[in-house]
Amino acid sequence: MHGPMYIKYIEVCVLKLKSTFFNVCIMAVYRAPTGNFNLFLNRLDDITKTLYKVDLKLVVCGELNIDYLTNND
């Protein structure tokens, strides 16, 4: 699947930190500007649902490459 026709829609790196005081999950996300936005959102939703736990704080950061100046769906 690698080559000129292969497009990455999302890249994610997750770090889970557990202590006696808190549990936190830091998720760094990258979306290529030319990637399909709907596929990106669907995959991001799948990943967050997999990570979600009631006692876990989730921090999402990164480069989402969303252009709010253009009219898109």
Mean pLDDT, rounded, for 14-39: 92
The pLDDT, as a whole number, for residue 1 is 47
Measured CA to CA, the distance from residue 14 to residue 31 in angstroms comes to: 15
Environment class of residue 10 by beta-carbon count within 10 Å: exposed (0-12), middle (13-18) or buried (19+)? buried
pLDDT at 4 over 80: no
The pLDDT, as a whole number, for residue 70 is 78
Domain boundaries in the chain?
A: 11-63
Report the Cα 39 to chain-centroid distance in Å. Answer: 11
- Tell me, yes or no, if the pTM score tops 0.85: no
